[in-house]
Amino acid sequence: MDFRKTMEEKYLSIVKHYIQTQSEQGLYAGQQFSRRALEQKISPEEVISLQKSTMQELMPELPEEVWHSYDILLEIMTGYGFAFREHQSLLSKQQELKNEIEIAANVQETLLGTSIPSVEGLDIGAISVPAKQMNGDYFHFVQDGNHSVNVAIADVIGKGIPAALCMSMIKYAMDSLPEYRKDPSAVLGSLNRVVEQNIDDSMFITMFYGMYELRSNILHFASAGHEPGFFYCSKTGEFKDLKARGLLLGVDKGASYKRYEQFVEVGDMIILMSDGVTECRTDKGFIERETLISYINNHIFLPAQEIVNNIYRELERLQHFQLRDDFTLIIMKRTN
């Protein structure tokens, strides 16, 4: 409030000084004044009144017409004043929304939280990073005693808050299907019906679901339109696609999902990802799956969590630290 009391005096001295010197310094004083005035939410029309009273004091002999013309200027600036106040209130609303989204993102993290199971003979690493505040990617592990480790990785088509809300629904649908948990094709079939009934017509979900049998070391899996993962064969050093055909969840109620199998030997790896990994765009174009393989190869002897962390860091750097899409990468490595 101090500023308001003294601003008339200050403005007068700035104008007076400038009329005499017309110096850069004088202009600079004006700039500083405007900064303070904005901070104090002084409206444009108040500044015009200020100018008018200042001039009346400095040059009372000016013709009557000049003072009348100020009325028009005042009228016009009142309109700008409305815009200014609207801007102020939008700014504070924006801040409010930002806070709310932050809270929502935290809630989502809690809702969708999953812990990476620690299983004898299997080294698992996973990373999931949202491009914006809320993540439309999702991964989930369920350990079924000593029998199996189940893994789901999913991506909602669409980004941001709607996608994130959708994911929470999927998570609860999945939690309510315990008896089907073991069979990937049944899991995807059930989820497909849930998504088809409940979700907006242009929102779809891709999902890969795998069940790793610990005794037999067989991965049973099925895919609903999800980016294919890799299988790394340590004997040959080769990577091949974990190919599985299946339609996106939510398009066709009657879709069925074929179950595939992959035998996993010691040293072999299962690599699952979202399309944020393969759709990673750099200055030179997209990164190819071959490039991704070479990154994995660079770190192949590290523990699974370090491999995924390192790959994320490298791809993040390639994109100048600006993710375009949510990024999720999971590696499961058989250790004995």
Interface residue list for another protein (CB under 8 A): 155, 157-159, 201-204, 206, 224-228, 245-248, 251-252, 255, 275, 279, 281, 286, 324-325
Q: How far is the CB of 178 from another protein (least distance, A)?
A: 27
> Whose Cβ is closer to another protein: residue 215's or residue 320's?
320
Q: How far is the CB of 223 from another protein (least distance, A)?
A: 8
Q: How far is the CB of 156 from another protein (least distance, A)?
A: 9
* Angle of helix 304-318 versus helix 289-298 axis, rounded to 10: 130
> Whose Cβ is closer to another protein: residue 36's or residue 243's?
243
For residues 230 and 219, the answer to whether their CB atoms sit within 8 Å is: no
> Whose Cβ is closer to another protein: residue 205's or residue 304's?
205
Cβ–Cβ contacts within 10 Å for residue 255, how many? 18
Contacts of 231 (CB under 8 A, 6+ apart): 239, 240, 241, 242, 262, 264, 268, 269, 270, 271
> Whose Cβ is closer to another protein: residue 14's or residue 329's?
329
> Whose Cβ is closer to another protein: residue 159's or residue 334's?
159
DSSP per-residue string spanning 169-226: HHHHHHHT-GGGTT-HHHHHHHHHHHHHHHS-TT--EEEEEEEEETTTTEEEEEEESP
For residue 43, give both structure tokens.
């409206």
Q: How far is the CB of 274 from another protein (least distance, A)?
A: 9
For residues 143 and 71, give the distance between their C-alpha atoms in angstroms, rounded to a whole number.
Answer: 77
Nearest one of 128, 139, 108 to 323, comparing CA atoms: 128
> Whose Cβ is closer to another protein: residue 148's or residue 262's?
262
DSSP per-residue string spanning 4-56: HHHHHHHHHHHHHHHHHH--HHHHHHHHHHHHHHHHTT--HHHHHHHHHHHHH
Q: How far is the CB of 111 from another protein (least distance, A)?
A: 23
Q: How far is the CB of 62 from another protein (least distance, A)?
A: 52
3-state class of 284 per DSSP? coil
The secondary structure of 124-172, three-state, reads: EEEEEECCCCCCCEEEEEEEECCCEEEEEEEEECCCHHHHHHHHHHHHH
H-helix or E-strand spanning residue 328: strand 327-334
> Whose Cβ is closer to another protein: residue 4's or residue 281's?
281
Q: How far is the CB of 132 from another protein (least distance, A)?
A: 10
> Whose Cβ is closer to another protein: residue 35's or residue 258's?
258
Contacts of 36 (CB under 8 A, 6+ apart): 3, 7
Q: How far is the CB of 271 from another protein (least distance, A)?
A: 16
